[in-house]
Amino acid sequence: MCLVLRRLSSITSSFICLLLTVMGSNCRDDPQMPQVGQIIEPHTTEVGSFRVLRVIYSGPFSDVYLLGKKTNVNEKFAMKVERQVGNIRPVLKLDVFVLREMNTQTGFPRFIGAGQTPYYKYCIMELLGPDLSKLRRSLDAKKFSTTTALQVCIQTLQRLETLHDHGLLCRDVKAPNFAIGLESRASIIYMLDFGFARKYKDKNGVLMKPRPAAALMGTFLYAPMASHKREEQCRRDDIESWFYMACELLKGTLPWAHLYGVERHQLILEWKQFIRGSGRKEFLRGLPQQFDHILERIDSVSFFDRPDYRYLISQLMFAAEQLSIDLKAPLDWQKNKRLVRKAHWVGELGESNMASDLMRENSDLSTANDVTPVDVETWRVWDS
């Protein structure tokens, strides 16, 4: 009996390893992937060489490693790695492109270098702290203080304005895609993960016309209504996703967070429509009154319009003024250093999964998925 159990355990481990390999994730035993102690030498030789210290994160599309400078391992960086073969949706090329474009902009990770081997591609960038989702869920109340939330909302909106002014859409705005800086930069919010980014201007700077239909792109929890309807996304839609994220940071869990997006994305759309109608007052309860004006302004933006970022930020600043909030006050994680350490142990939220395949191939998914704990079940969808 014990022998059988051991055999089953071995088979299960092998299956999981195979599954992760197919999805593009790291299999720690794969000698072709970066190994602890290995020296990485980017094609950009002037940045020097790096030593692999450990795996930080292993996900469906890519893996992230902690690196140290070969000459000084205390000088640390992050390396994002993507397999050359068998990756369902290669995204690293987009990440590298956006990081290069935004390399001198405040609140975007500093691009260090990139390269490839016959087995994987990699991008080395500035090392950041935990993301906003993990920090929020590390708090007992599962929400930031109003002082911190308003500062974070302003910074994340500024990041979107900068990205948009460089001719790029994010199309996956959510708390896990924003992280804090380390040490002296802990008050700076950084934007990262640009695997769904898309240009919205052509090479002559002219706005591109919307396609007649588009993929359901983003994360169900935060996806704009246009995405649910499979319509082309624009700058307004990034701001709409930002609005849902902002409400979550201030209030805690969104009311549709318990819904299993693969099966219930239409119901999530109905929720988002409901909060614009008879459910608006209840949804906005507990939020600064300016959020009503913010949602109204977002919904008034047409496909080709540039969102009025200045107005939106001014509303957040007005909310802070009315609440006697100092927008230069220390943030929650600066006042409580333990919060950052705790966030490293919080599970992932909004991991990218093969949702579009599930939607096409599994019309009778088990309803057991519907009871996934709140703050865990969010799925990304892409055009296959």
Query: Is 188 exposed, middle or buried, given 0-12, 13-18 or 19+ CB atoms closer than 10 A?
Result: middle
The pLDDT tens digits for 138-166 are 999 999 999 999 999 999 999 999 999 99
Under a CB-based contact definition with an 8 Å cutoff, are residues 107 and 155 in contact? yes
Higher pLDDT, 7 or 254: 254
The pLDDT tens digits for 18-38 are 333 333 444 456 888 999 999
Residue 374 in this model has a pLDDT that exceeds 90: no
Domain boundaries, the chain: 26-126, 132-381
**pLDDT of res. 6:** 42
Mean residue pLDDT across the chain: 84
d(CA 34, CA 199): 32
- The domain defined by 26-126 folds into Phosphorylase Kinase; domain 1 (3.30.200)
Query: From residue 232, how far is each of 79, 102, 170, 304, 323 by CA, in Å?
Result: 32, 24, 13, 11, 38
**pLDDT of res. 123:** 95
**pLDDT of res. 372:** 26
**pLDDT of res. 88:** 73
Q: Do the bridges between strand 120-126 and strand 72-83 make them parallel or antiparallel, or are there none, so unpaired? A: antiparallel
Determine which one of 63, 95, 172, 238 is catalytic: 172
Residue 375 tokens read as: 């703050």
**pLDDT of res. 349:** 55
**What mean pLDDT comes out for the span 56-65?**
84
Higher pLDDT, 4 or 139: 139
Superfamily of domain 132-381, CATH level 4: Transferase(Phosphotransferase) domain 1 (1.10.510.10)
Under a CB-based contact definition with an 8 Å cutoff, are residues 264 and 228 in contact? no
Residue 220 identity? F
Q: Do the bridges between strand 168-169 and strand 178-180 make them parallel or antiparallel, or are there none, so unpaired? A: unpaired
Higher pLDDT, 360 or 320: 320
Check if 172 is active-site: yes
**pLDDT of res. 361:** 42
Residue 187 in this model has a pLDDT that exceeds 90: yes
The pLDDT tens digits for 103-133 are 999 999 999 999 999 999 999 999 999 999 9
Torsion angle of the four alpha carbons 54, 56, 58, 61, in this order, in degrees rounded to the nearest 10: -110
**What mean pLDDT comes out for the span 56-70?**
88
Residue 16 in this model has a pLDDT that exceeds 60: no
**pLDDT of res. 366:** 34
For 268-288, b/e burial (b = at least 16 CB within 10 A) is bbebbebbeeeeeeebbeebb
Residue 111 tokens read as: 């691009």
Residue 229 in this model has a pLDDT that exceeds 70: yes
Could you give the 3-state DSSP secondary structure of residue 72?
A: strand
The pLDDT tens digits for 73-106 are 899 999 999 998 877 778 899 999 999 999 999 9
**What mean pLDDT comes out for the span 153-180?**
97
The pLDDT confidence band at residue 15, using thresholds 50, 70 and 90, is: very low
What is the residue whose two structure tokens read 């008050």? 187
Under a CB-based contact definition with an 8 Å cutoff, are residues 245 and 173 in contact? yes
| Distance linking the first and last C-alpha atoms of the chain | 44
Rounded to 5 degrees, what angle do the CA atoms 87, 93, 99 make? 135
- The answer for residues whose C-beta is within 8 angstroms of residue 34's C-beta and 6 or more apart is 40, 52, 65, 79, 81, 120, 122
Backbone φ/ψ region at 228: left (φ over 0), alpha (ψ -120 to 50), beta: alpha
Residue 335 tokens read as: 């006042």
**pLDDT of res. 12:** 38
